[in-house]
């Protein structure tokens, strides 16, 4: 049996239509159902907002974190009163570093020791910036704080960058009032 060109064209068209129908029923229809569910979920979210329970639990977590941070700030402030020289040193070194164009990464006051004759405080500061900014900072430090001793200085070049990272330990010894 020989098929004519017309019969072959009809057979290919029929197979093509069957493939398209199979694709729609097997793949497209479930995807449309899933898209419809997602659209309704998004509409509900936009109309009603996020679920209240989730937002309340997130708010509780944020309030707990805020309370913990406030406690840590109070501990820091009670350890270093505004009149304390270490507190003043923290402020002035931070201002000098930012004025020189450096980024202050960390300012960490160390434990104070006291005796009858003197009080000692120390401060660790980490800075980031370019070499010229470090030079400006050190010149400003030398002129502004003659009674403060820089105990250690480490400077490292950052890989693949023109920035440097420095860690400086400052010591401050004062006579008690």
CATH number of the domain enclosing 130: 3.30.70.60
In a domain, 75, yes or no: no
**Six-digit token string for 177:** 């009032």
Do 113 and 169 belong together in one domain? Answer: yes
Do 150 and 108 belong together in one domain? Answer: yes
Q: How many domains does the chain have?
A: 2
Do 49 and 131 belong together in one domain? Answer: no
Per-residue pLDDT of the chain (177 residues; tens, 9 = 90+): 687 888 888 988 999 888 888 877 777 777 777 888 888 888 877 777 766 777 778 888 888 888 888 777 766 666 555 446 677 778 888 889 999 999 988 888 775 666 656 666 778 889 999 989 999 998 888 887 666 778 888 989 888 888 889 998 887 766 555
Do 87 and 60 belong together in one domain? Answer: no
Do 111 and 36 belong together in one domain? Answer: no
pTM: 0.49
Do 94 and 30 belong together in one domain? Answer: no
**Six-digit token string for 134:** 């470090």
Q: Which domain holds residue 33?
A: 5-69
Do 100 and 170 belong together in one domain? Answer: yes
Pairwise CA distance, residues 158 & 67, whole Å: 36
């Amino acid at each position: 049996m020989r098929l004519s060109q017309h019969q072959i064209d009809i057979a290919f068209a029929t197979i093509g239509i069957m493939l398209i129908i199979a694709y729609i029923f097997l793949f497209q229809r479930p995807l449309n159902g899933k898209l419809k569910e997602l659209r309704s979920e998004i509409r509900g979210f936009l109309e009603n907002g996020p679920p209240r329970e989730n937002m309340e639990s997130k708010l509780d977590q944020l309030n707990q974190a805020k309370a913990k941070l406030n406690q840590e700030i109070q501990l820091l402030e009670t350890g270093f009163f505004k009149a304390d020289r270490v507190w003043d040193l923290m402020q002035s070194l931070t201002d000098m570093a930012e004025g020189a164009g450096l980024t202050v990464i960390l300012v960490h006051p160390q434990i104070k020791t006291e005796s009858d004759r003197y009080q000692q405080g120390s401060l660790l500061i980490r800075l980031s910036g370019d070499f010229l900014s470090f030079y400006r900072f050190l010149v400003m430090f030398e002129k502004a704080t003659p009674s403060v001793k820089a105990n250690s200085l480490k400077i490292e070049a950052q890989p693949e960058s023109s920035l440097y990272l420095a860690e400086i330990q400052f010591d401050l010894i004062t006579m008690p009032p």
